[in-house]
């Protein structure tokens, strides 16, 4: 399904008066609002190909209707999101869930929707039907050299697929670890993983980046071989200057200070990318900003401060992606909400009075520092984010337009009620 431009235009015309009223108030309140709007226009968040269908837990999966059945339909869905918010201009593929049969045609289809290919993701946390050896006891860490080799070759194959699509980064997430004490020699598991990563790294084109994602626990419940940012940092340091740590918000132990992690990785020049989601208990993969919006704001506050300190381009120097699972919501509606939540946190972080904050910090004025941050967080910047969408050609209220155009009903009519997208 495609959303015609005139429908977006009509929707915007209907909402314009109220929008302009709110915008004029907020621009009078925030000094640098024009610069914020432009930065929000430029900021794009990749949508992973596995987030377009209904997700599941290990207890069950309740599919929604009209889910994309093919890679082509997944691209159409991301194209639809992008036409609504003009902020989802990239898709991230998971191999082998989404292997393009004809890379040229897929690339052309994506370009038609204004989409680029973000990082490609390898998968050695599941066995595939035609796979010779099992990853039950790990992949890159495995005690069996033949299994490690199989996993290395898979990653190299994913790089090749990515080159065909114009992708420029590989994300490696390993479920490797152990479930019980004594199962694993930690040092040997680390060494095997490092050597395997070195072989994968050697296959990276010069202009590529390797992102090493960490996760505290699950599916292994005693140890994880890339379990936290320190372990990921230790690997990427040894790999070289094309290797970076990737932060997934849901992959920390409860109450971890993610904003501090982000600040230090940025300082070391080793923060490569981001996976957005939110959680209450663990790796819940909920809508970004749904549970802890203040934390998301504080993370963006460090991102903006740290990227500016290094003269980085906010939009292009780090990889931004949503990594969420939608068990009870329409996945497309959930993704629209996530992007909105991310953009609001970003806009709020951009509005922080940096000079005043630095002054407060230098004077140990704790109260003033808190006031500055909370003032930014408590300011309603939705009109700034909406204005960015309007200028980019998107909808003032994407979710409202999605519903009024009965997008899901149309997708069900096109694809059927009982479709299941590949993914988790």
Site for Mn ion in 233-272 (CB under 5 A): 248
19/326 with CB nearer Mn ion: 326
Q: In degrees, to the nearest 5, what angle opens at C-alpha 328 toward C-alphas 326 and 334?
A: 45
Whether the Cβ atoms of residue 246 and residue 213 lie closer than 8 Å to each other:
yes
Nearest to 49 by CA among 150, 171, 131: 171
> What minimum distance in Å lies between the beta carbon of 175 and Mn ion?
12
302/323 with CB nearer Mn ion: 323
Query: For residues 138 and 225, what is the distance between their CA atoms, to the nearest angstrom?
Result: 9
| Residue 366 CB neighbour total at 10 angstroms | 10
Which are the contacts of 59, defined by CB distance < 8 A and separation ≥ 6? Answer: none
- What DSSP letter does each residue of 254-309 carry, written as one string? TT--HHHHHHHHHHTT-EEEEEE-B-SSSS--BPTTSS-HHHHHHHHHHHHHHHHH
26/339 with CB nearer Mn ion: 339
249/373 with CB nearer Mn ion: 249
> What minimum distance in Å lies between the beta carbon of 133 and Mn ion?
25
Q: Lay out the site mask for Mn ion across 304-343 (x = CB under 5 A, - = otherwise).
A: -------------------x--------------------
Task: Give, for 173, the enclosing helix (H) or strand (E).
Answer: strand 169-173
> What minimum distance in Å lies between the beta carbon of 49 and Mn ion?
13
> What minimum distance in Å lies between the beta carbon of 9 and Mn ion?
36
117/211 with CB nearer Mn ion: 211
Positive or negative: CA dihedral 375, 380, 382, 388:
negative
> What minimum distance in Å lies between the beta carbon of 74 and Mn ion?
18
> What minimum distance in Å lies between the beta carbon of 58 and Mn ion?
17
> What minimum distance in Å lies between the beta carbon of 338 and Mn ion?
13
Nearest to 154 by CA among 97, 192, 116, 234: 97
Which are the contacts of 66, defined by CB distance < 8 A and separation ≥ 6? Answer: 408, 410, 411, 412, 413, 414, 415, 416, 417, 419
Nearest to 272 by CA among 305, 322, 232, 225: 232
Respond yes or no on whether the N-terminal peptide bond of residue 96 is cis (omega within 30° of 0): yes
323/330 with CB nearer Mn ion: 323
Site for Mn ion in 270-299 (CB under 5 A): 275
> What minimum distance in Å lies between the beta carbon of 48 and Mn ion?
8
> What minimum distance in Å lies between the beta carbon of 247 and Mn ion?
9
178/277 with CB nearer Mn ion: 277
Positive or negative: CA dihedral 309, 313, 318, 323:
positive
Number of shown-chain residues binding Mn ion (CB under 5 A): 3
305/323 with CB nearer Mn ion: 323
Phi/psi for 245 (5° steps) reads -85, 140
> What minimum distance in Å lies between the beta carbon of 325 and Mn ion?
10
Nearest to 49 by CA among 112, 106, 126: 106
If one asks whether residue 215 binds Mn ion (CB under 5 A), the answer comes out as no
Site for Mn ion in 28-87 (CB under 5 A): none
Separation of CA 407 from chain center = 24
197/385 with CB nearer Mn ion: 197
23/247 with CB nearer Mn ion: 247
Q: Lay out the site mask for Mn ion across 81-110 (x = CB under 5 A, - = otherwise).
A: ------------------------------
Nearest to 347 by CA among 387, 318, 313: 387
Binding site for Mn ion (CB under 5 A): 248, 275, 323
């Amino acid at each position: 399904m495609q959303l015609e431009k005139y429908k977006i235009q009509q929707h915007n015309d209907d909402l314009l008066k109220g929008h302009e009223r709110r915008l004029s108030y907020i621009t009078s309140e925030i000094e640098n609002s024009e610069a914020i709007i432009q930065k929000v226009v430029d900021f794009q968040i990749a949508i992973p190909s596995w987030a377009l269908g209904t997700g599941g837990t290990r207890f069950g999966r309740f599919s929604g209707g009209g889910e994309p059945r093919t890679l082509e339909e997944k691209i159409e869905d991301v194209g639809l999101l992008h036409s609504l918010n003009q902020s989802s201009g990239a898709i991230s593929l998971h191999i082998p869930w989404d292997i393009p049969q004809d890379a040229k045609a897929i690339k052309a289809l994506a370009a038609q929707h204004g989409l680029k290919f973000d990082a490609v993701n390898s998968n050695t946390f599941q066995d595939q039907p035609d796979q010779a050896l099992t990853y039950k006891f790990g992949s890159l860490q495995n005690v069996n050299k033949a299994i490690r080799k199989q996993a290395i070759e898979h990653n190299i194959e994913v790089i090749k697929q990515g080159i065909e699509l114009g992708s420029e980064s590989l994300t490696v997430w390993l479920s490797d670890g152990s479930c019980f004490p004594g199962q694993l020699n930690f040092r040997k598991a680390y060494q095997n993983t490092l050597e395997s990563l070195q072989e994968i790294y050697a296959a990276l084109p010069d202009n590529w980046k390797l992102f090493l994602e960490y996760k505290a626990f699950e599916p292994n419940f005693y140890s994880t071989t890339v379990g936290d940012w320190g372990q990921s940092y230790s690997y990427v340091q040894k790999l070289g200057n094309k290797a970076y740590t990737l932060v997934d918000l849901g992959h920390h132990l409860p109450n971890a200070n993610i904003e501090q992690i982000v600040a230090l990785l940025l300082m070391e020049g080793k923060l490569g990318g981001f996976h957005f989601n939110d959680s209450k208990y663990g790796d819940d993969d909920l809508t970004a900003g749904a549970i802890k919006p203040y934390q998301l704001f504080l993370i963006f506050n460090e991102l903006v401060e740290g990227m500016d300190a290094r003269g980085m381009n906010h939009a292009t120097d780090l990889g931004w992606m949503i990594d969420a699972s939608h068990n009870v919501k329409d996945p497309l509606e959930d993704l629209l909400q996530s992007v909105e939540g991310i953009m609001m946190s970003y806009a709020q972080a951009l509005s922080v009075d940096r000079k005043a904050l630095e002054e407060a910090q230098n004077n140990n004025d704790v109260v003033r520092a808190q006031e500055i941050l909370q003032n930014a967080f408590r300011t309603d910047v939705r009109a700034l984010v909406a204005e960015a969408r309007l200028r980019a050609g998107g909808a003032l209220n994407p979710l409202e337009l999605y519903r009024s155009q009965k997008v899901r009903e149309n997708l069900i009519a096109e694809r059927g009620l009982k479709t299941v997208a590949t993914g988790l």
